[in-house]
Amino acid sequence: MLQLEGYNSLQFQKWIYNNRKKAFSLKIDKGEVKKPLVFTNRAKRLYGTNLGINIILITLFVLKMRNFVTNPSASIYFTVFALLVYIVILGLLYFLQAFFMLIANNSILPVENRINLGFYKQAQEKIKSRPDLTVVGITGSFGKTSTKFIVGTILGEKYKVLNTPESYNTPMGLSKVINNDLADDHEIFIAELGARNIGDIKEVGKLVMPKIGVITSIGPTHLETFKNMDNIMKTKYELVEELPTDGIAIFNYDNEYIRKLADKTFKEKILYGLEEVENLDLYAEDIEVSEFGSTFTIKDKEGNSIRCTTKLLGKHNIYNILAGVAVAKILGLSLEEIKRGIEKIEPIPHRLNIINPGTGIIIIDDAFNSNPIGAKAALEVLSQFKEGRKIIVTPGMVELGAMEEEANRELGENIGKVCDYVILVGEKRTRPIYEGLMEVNYNEDNIFIVNNLDEATACIQKIARPKDVILFENDLPDNYNE
């Protein structure tokens, strides 16, 4: 088995394990998970209710069985039979805990809704009490978390900024941040607004009351709940509808779906992009992209320009930076302040960032929620590495509804044009990727189909060598199962 430079096989496997935390396992894992269970107050109430239900059921059953067991006329055989039934019932109670937990959840749902509404209203009132606070709302099918941190870093050159952490983008997540973290000295609050159903953006919009709204992208994500692209467009546009009359909407005008929304918007708006610059308020040109980052010139329609450099990988991140620049210009930052902010932007974990474990092998971690545009961008970045062979580890894309099979087939075709080796996680789900690889006459001997991370690690140990580049594309939830 190959011994990687500076790392033995066991060390390399441990490194992969610690960084991916079995994210690619397609089976329910009873071991370590990516996010361990945290007993919040809600979890305590849920478990307490479930415990109460179990105690009531066991007590009733014991009382009933006691009448039979202590009956003087009962034979010894009947008593033994009753005890066996008692044991069987207790076993059933154990195996039906998921069902009882569901009953407990439904039982306390009205209480939880009242508690949540209280937190929501408390946060809403806190925002209302801060007319000096500027709230920036960011939404999109993808790119919103990256854009949020980009905006925060750039605005940090001039203002005291609060970002929602990680992917906090639901009513309760946002309420928690506002209630616990928003301080009197914060001048800017940047809120990521997520959605899986129509009306979700409207709900969080009424909570945070943004004055500036950014739509980063619209594409086929969460189609299992949205059903079609029209519903996604309608939902994302709820952000613009929640802006005040003097609010400002910022649109990625290169996105065909967003362009339709921008064209029907009569509120003040800023259009950014890389194409058809004559229609844009803000754009980038003279772009130089490499495995080390990007250099580009930002220009606006007034003729101002500045040359900028970022450590972020991929052309798609330039779109996210342009969104940040648009917000910064609205809030009065100078071009020099914007340039300094862009230089300080750090890659976000699991979103196309490079990890060098010291083995001579480069890891590109793009494991967060892959989508067709993001996956294509990741392969574009991978193609820019001049040395070493290119290896991809992926379970494909999920939550794309009826488009999933075709999107993964196209992903396979694109992989075949870039990668030297392909490790597919999960035979059934990755079948369209395999078919796409065959469409471009990919060498079948260089395709490995595995069931989990351990098997993927074994493949990597066999084929990887110093200077190779390994792309981890997409993550899966802990309870994912083919």
Pairing label, strands 293-300, 161-163: unpaired
132: Cβ contacts below 8 Å, ≥ 6 apart:
187
pTM: 0.74
Produce one character per residue of 180-215: b if its CB has 16 or more CB atoms within 10 Å, e if not. Answer: eebeeebebbbbbbbbeeeebbbbbbebbbbbbbbb
The domain boundary residue, chosen from 283, 312, 344? 344
Backbone angles phi, psi at 365, to 5 degrees: -95, 105
Looking at residue 36, its pLDDT comes to 61
- How far is Cα 450 from Cα 430, in angstroms, rounded to an integer? 10
Looking at residue 65, its pLDDT comes to 67
Looking at residue 105, its pLDDT comes to 85
The answer on 354 and 411 residing in a single domain is yes
Angle at 443 (CA atoms; ends 441, 445), nearest 5 degrees? 150
Looking at residue 274, its pLDDT comes to 94
Q: E strands of 20-84, at which residues? A: none
The answer on 408 and 429 residing in a single domain is yes
Looking at residue 68, its pLDDT comes to 60
The answer on 174 and 103 residing in a single domain is no
The domain boundary residue, chosen from 344, 364, 381? 344
The answer on 103 and 66 residing in a single domain is yes
Domain annotation covers residue 269:
yes
Distance of CA 471 to the CA centre of its chain: 17
The answer on 302 and 265 residing in a single domain is yes
Domain annotation covers residue 120:
no
Domain annotation covers residue 171:
yes
The answer on 404 and 318 residing in a single domain is no
Domain annotation covers residue 116:
no
Structural domain including 53 reads: 41-110
Domain annotation covers residue 227:
yes
Q: Residue 201 is part of a domain; what is its CATH number?
A: 3.40.1190.10
The answer on 371 and 281 residing in a single domain is no
What sign has the CA pseudo-torsion 229, 232, 237, 241?
positive
Q: Which residues pair with 252 in a beta bridge?
A: 272
What sign has the CA pseudo-torsion 107, 108, 112, 115?
positive
The answer on 91 and 139 residing in a single domain is no
Neighbours of 386 (CB within 10 A): 8
Q: E strands of 53-208, at which residues? A: 134-139, 161-163, 188-192
Q: Residue 361 is part of a domain; what is its CATH number?
A: 3.90.190.20
Q: With beta carbons less than 8 A apart as the criterion, state whether 477 and 378 touch.
A: no
Domain annotation covers residue 115:
no
The domain boundary residue, chosen from 344, 368, 402? 344
The answer on 457 and 356 residing in a single domain is yes
Both tokens assigned to 40? 């919040």
pLDDT under 70 in the chain at which residues?
1-38, 65-79, 82, 369-370, 476-482
The answer on 177 and 241 residing in a single domain is yes
Q: E strands of 113-159, at which residues? A: 134-139
Q: With beta carbons less than 8 A apart as the criterion, state whether 65 and 81 touch.
A: no
Domain annotation covers residue 179:
yes
Q: With beta carbons less than 8 A apart as the criterion, state whether 123 and 162 touch.
A: no
What is the number of domains present in the chain? 3
Domain annotation covers residue 215:
yes
The answer on 138 and 250 residing in a single domain is yes
The answer on 392 and 259 residing in a single domain is no
